[in-house]
Amino acid sequence: MTHPAQAPFPAGADAEAERRLLDACFLGPYAENDTLLEKLVVEFLRDHVHWRRNFHPEDPPAIPTRAAQHPQYQAFEARMRRELHRLSAALKHSVPFHSPRYIGHMASDLLLPGLAAQILTLPYNPNNVSEDAAPVTVQLEVQVGLQLARMLGYPDDPARPDCAFGHLTSGGTLANYQALRLALALKAFPVALIAAGVPDLELPADDAQAFNLGPAGGIVLLEQWRRWLGQHPPAEQARWRERVAQARIEQLGLVEFFRRHPTLRVPQVLAPITAHYSWSKGLKMLGLGRAQLALLPTRDMRLDPDALEETLETCRRDGQPVLMAVAVLGSTEYGTIDPVDAVVAARERSTARGLGFSVHVDAAWGGYLTALFRAPDGGLRSREDMRREYQTFPQPEVHAAFAALADTDSVTVDPHKLGYLPYGAGAFICRDHRAMELLSEQADYVFHPEAQDDYLSRYRQLGQFIPEGSKPGAAAAAVYVTHRVLPLDHANFGLMPRQTVLATEAFLARARRFADDMAGRVTAMVPFPPDSNLVCLALNPQGNRGLAQANAFVRRLHDQLRCDTRQPLQVKQFFASMTTLRHSVVGEAQMQRILAGLGIDPATIGHTDDTDRVVILRHTLMNPYLIDHENGISYIDRYFDYLATHLHALAGGVAA
């Protein structure tokens, strides 16, 4: 399963060769590759048919060959066709993610290898809950975890005791939740060892030390405990296993666990204020409560390391445990990249001072950008090497953030976002798989020679470790095949993120020209430089000083740029999305700068939803055909031309 994939495309090859490779990657904006997809679908559907027939060819057909002539059959077929036509007609109102005129949310065309693999796998209907229900695709899912681990810089050799582990989820939301579960299990486990009175281990002196050991210390203890257990006869082992199990937080529940350990406080999760709302959901689901999510301020839209440091200091003083610090790699609203390196450094310092915690990176959006930083041999590319391909990307802070991924504890990546794969495919990856035993439903965190030795066979019982039960094997097949066809390094998969970063640089340059061209009519500005491939645009009609009016103006513009099922799709010229800038997110100084740039009077900031924030346009530049070299068309230019024409009409009404 782990043969090195053929690199279809050598590193550093020219733009022309890149374009020819890109030609084959997607169905395409005009469905240019229709024949290719059709050939693949038919070929593998036939293949599936033969597989069914060859299972026991001696069994005669159960459905009579004349069945299709029966009126009941025909009536059923007619009904089915009618409904399918209705569905197909209704779907014509879908969002045209495939088009370079779509720069709204985090969706685009689908990579052909993934789409074909998914369609191919569907009729086999594998269920990745366990190998009994998916002997093939469950292995592919474990391999996907290793492929992503390699991209992130985690150990990816299953022969290593500390190899990483990853699995798919329905999306980033559940992957983030899995990160919380794992961090809590690891945090509370040393406390259970003390409570159970396990002798001979190097246990921390008290509950507080045990609870604040940090993930690395937790794993060391887990290993010690496993070795200790292995020295005992089976009956003793079973007795001790049970004793520890009875003391664990997963067994007791939060209420009883904290009642038994009165010196411990409920731990907090520290995340930047730009964090996705799945973190709020996760804390609610886990039962820790939304109040345990401490949102930290940002500096230039990125997590402020000084604020993190101060918060940790306060926590240490107050005996407030920290479950995890979250860094966002590509924020959902603004695409900004948090200083992962600073968060890792803070964990090291804090752990040394007795306040350990896990570092999780929410890279649901930006995870696949890591491919740009990865050389085909697995090494990290230098910033100098990368800089040749772009105008300004990656900024030194951005490079440092990606370089530090290898030192984090776990990561969320969404193949269904920048992986260009069908929904729902999120992924959770942890750096050291040994902690995963703590999540096992069968209390399998014990010495278990066969399962222990063999990484791959252990994770074939995937359902034991994940929040879900039954889950689509077809999704795993899609991700696996895509990563094989396009290995996760800059020379292969990197093709896709590179187009998006280049498109962003083109968009920025065009936005500046647009701002100049519009001067005197509409003030336009990019409120902050993008770290990756999401760009926002703030607008205000010339002469307007009121925030409410400016917001109403942008909302009216956005009405033209969003889905509207009451109109035929073709009426729409472009799709963009919208977001807001709030004081709490951008900070006072930045807010003042942006308002001044737009010519808005800060005194017009109010307290209602529409007057306490700046409404802005948001553009997700992930379509690989935004710059159409074949026809010499830039959809970015066309978008700004469209905005210019449209703004004339809109601005008239407001400035008056």
Ligand X SMILES: *Cc1c(COP(=O)(O)O)cnc(C)c1O
C-alpha 529 chain-centroid distance: 22
Is residue 414 within the footprint of ligand X (CB under 6 A)?
Answer: yes
Is residue 364 within the footprint of ligand X (CB under 6 A)?
Answer: yes
φ, ψ for residue 365, nearest 5 deg: -85, -55
Element of type H or E holding 363: strand 358-363
Select 365 or 575, whichever has its Cβ closest to ligand X.
365
Q: Are 156 and 149 in contact (CB under 8 A)?
A: yes
d(CA 12, CA 498): 12
Is residue 347 within the footprint of ligand X (CB under 6 A)?
Answer: no
- In the complex, least distance from residue 272 CB atom to ligand X, rounded to whole angstroms: 10
Find the binder of ligand X among 99, 139, 268, 278 (CB under 6 A).
Answer: 278
Is residue 328 within the footprint of ligand X (CB under 6 A)?
Answer: yes
Is residue 437 within the footprint of ligand X (CB under 6 A)?
Answer: no
- In the complex, least distance from residue 435 CB atom to ligand X, rounded to whole angstroms: 22
- In the complex, least distance from residue 336 CB atom to ligand X, rounded to whole angstroms: 10
- In the complex, least distance from residue 370 CB atom to ligand X, rounded to whole angstroms: 14
Find the binder of ligand X among 104, 171, 376, 494 (CB under 6 A).
Answer: 171
Element of type H or E holding 350: helix 340-352
Find the binder of ligand X among 100, 158, 172, 335 (CB under 6 A).
Answer: 172
- In the complex, least distance from residue 486 CB atom to ligand X, rounded to whole angstroms: 21
- In the complex, least distance from residue 118 CB atom to ligand X, rounded to whole angstroms: 17
Find the binder of ligand X among 108, 121, 332, 532 (CB under 6 A).
Answer: 332
Q: Hey, which residues does 296 pair with through a beta bridge? A: 272
Beta-carbon contacts of residue 414 (< 8 Å; ≥ 6 apart): 171, 172, 175, 364, 365, 367, 425, 426, 427
- Is the C-alpha dihedral spanning 24, 27, 28, 34 positive or negative? positive
Select 426 or 587, whichever has its Cβ closest to ligand X.
426
Q: Tell me which stretch binds ligand X (CB under 6 A): 138-146, 160-168, 171-179, 250-258.
A: 171-179
Select 176 or 590, whichever has its Cβ closest to ligand X.
176
Select 106 or 643, whichever has its Cβ closest to ligand X.
106
Q: Tell me which stretch binds ligand X (CB under 6 A): 172-180, 309-317, 537-545, 553-561.
A: 172-180
Angle at the Cα of 282 from the Cα atoms of 308 and 478, rounded to 5 degrees: 110
Q: Which residues of 248-270 are buried (b: 16+ CB within 10 A; e: fewer)?
A: bbbebeeeebbeebeebbebbbb
Is residue 426 within the footprint of ligand X (CB under 6 A)?
Answer: yes
Find the binder of ligand X among 362, 432, 489, 531 (CB under 6 A).
Answer: 362
Which amino acid, one-letter code, is at 377?
Answer: D
Select 130 or 280, whichever has its Cβ closest to ligand X.
280
SS3 track for 173-227: HHHHHHHHHHHHHHHHHHHHHHHHCCCCCCCCCCHHHHHCCCHHHHHHHHHHHHH
- Three-class DSSP category at 490: coil
Select 151 or 595, whichever has its Cβ closest to ligand X.
151
Element of type H or E holding 646: helix 635-655
Binding mask 223-242 for ligand X (x = CB under 6 A): --------------------
Q: Which residues of 80-114 are buried (b: 16+ CB within 10 A; e: fewer)?
A: eeeeeeeeeeeeeeeebbbbbbbbbbbbbbbbbbb
Is residue 338 within the footprint of ligand X (CB under 6 A)?
Answer: no
Is residue 415 within the footprint of ligand X (CB under 6 A)?
Answer: no
Q: Hey, which residues does 26 pair with through a beta bridge? A: 111
Is residue 499 within the footprint of ligand X (CB under 6 A)?
Answer: no
- Is the C-alpha dihedral spanning 597, 306, 535, 401 positive or negative? positive
Find the binder of ligand X among 187, 248, 261, 276 (CB under 6 A).
Answer: 276
Residues that bind ligand X (CB under 6 A): 171-173, 176, 276, 278, 328, 332, 362, 364-365, 414, 426
